[in-house]
């Protein structure tokens, strides 16, 4: 009998609490979620109503949210990279609406240092280290660039500058002047010798003299 009475009492208590919970007035809960450090909006924040079956809502890309809740509901705001925040909707609201600005602080997590090596064993590292080609320093690079071979190769590929072109023009003018005043020796010209032999042969024939040329 006592056990039956206890069960009935428990059911009555649960019913009373359920009626009180159901009787809590509805509230239009609205607001915006911003960064506590920079005052910039935080988009797509997850909003969980812990007092109403963990009902989940989501803020939009501008951080704005608006949904129906109850007075005295506990609401939690979470977002990746930020510390969560929890607020309680106050009771006895006159206009049945509640607007709030929620500030979330950035959550900084320090991870332990991890050093990654591309070698599986120490022997592989020693092998690669011994076969590694060390790059030249600045002095060695400068010596290579100023060597005779490098300068000659660059001279064949680089275009003439103004000074080079001026020197070539002076050389061409000098050669033209020398050629215009030079006298060519006809005895050194094979074509002149051929013409001379033809003239001598033609003269001998006109005089009736045979020629051995």
Query: How confident is the model over 121-135, as pLDDT tens digits?
Result: 888 888 887 887 776
DSSP bridge pairs for 103: 34
Domain assignment present for residue 153? The answer is: yes
Say yes or no to pLDDT of 100 above 60.
yes
Phi-psi region of 51 (alpha: psi -120 to 50; beta: other; left: phi over 0): alpha
Domain count, the chain: 2
Domain assignment present for residue 206? The answer is: no
User: What pLDDT was estimated at residue 4?
Assistant: 54
Same domain for 47 and 15? yes
Query: Could you give the CA distance from residue 177 to residue 164 in angstroms, rounded to a whole number?
Result: 20
User: What pLDDT was estimated at residue 63?
Assistant: 95
User: What pLDDT was estimated at residue 125?
Assistant: 81
Say yes or no to pLDDT of 117 above 60.
yes
Same domain for 12 and 91? yes
Same domain for 76 and 122? no
Q: What angle (nearest 5°) sits at the alpha carbon of residue 71, between those of residues 41 and 76?
A: 40
**To the nearest whole percent, how much of the chain has pLDDT over 70?**
74
Say yes or no to pLDDT of 182 above 60.
no
Domain of 64 in residue numbering reads as: 2-104
Cβ partners under 8 Å of residue 164, min gap 6: none
User: What pLDDT was estimated at residue 23?
Assistant: 72
Domain assignment present for residue 21? The answer is: yes
Among candidate residues 104, 124, 158, the one where a domain is terminated:
104
pTM above 0.75, yes or no: no
Q: Where are the beta strands (DSSP E) in 108-212?
A: none
Q: The tokens of 176 are what?
A: 């033209």
Query: Could you give the CA distance from residue 88 to residue 112 in angstroms, rounded to a whole number?
Result: 37
Same domain for 19 and 61? yes
Say yes or no to pLDDT of 70 above 60.
yes
């Amino acid at each position: 009998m006592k056990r039956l009475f206890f069960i009935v009492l428990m059911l009555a208590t649960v019913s009373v609490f359920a009626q009180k919970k159901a009787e809590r007035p509805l509230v239009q809960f609205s607001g915006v979620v911003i960064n506590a450090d920079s005052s910039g909006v935080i988009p797509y924040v997850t909003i969980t109503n812990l007092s109403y079956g963990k009902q989940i809502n989501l803020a939009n890309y501008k951080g704005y949210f608006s949904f129906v809740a109850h007075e005295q509901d506990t609401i939690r705001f979470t977002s990746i990279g930020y510390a969560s925040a929890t607020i309680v909707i106050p009771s006895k609201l006159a206009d049945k609406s509640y607007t709030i600005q929620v500030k979330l602080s950035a959550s900084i997590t320090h991870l332990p240092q991890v050093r990654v090596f591309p070698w599986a064993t120490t022997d592989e590292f020693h092998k690669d280290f011994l076969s590694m080609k060390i790059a030249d320093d600045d002095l060695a690079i400068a010596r290579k660039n100023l060597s005779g071979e490098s300068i000659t190769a660059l001279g064949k590929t680089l275009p003439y500058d103004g000074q080079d072109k001026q020197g070539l023009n002076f050389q061409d003018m000098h050669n033209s002047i020398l050629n215009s005043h030079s006298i060519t020796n006809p005895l050194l010209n094979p074509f002149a010798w051929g013409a001379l032999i033809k003239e001598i042969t033609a003269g001998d024939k006109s005089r009736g003299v045979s020629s051995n040329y």
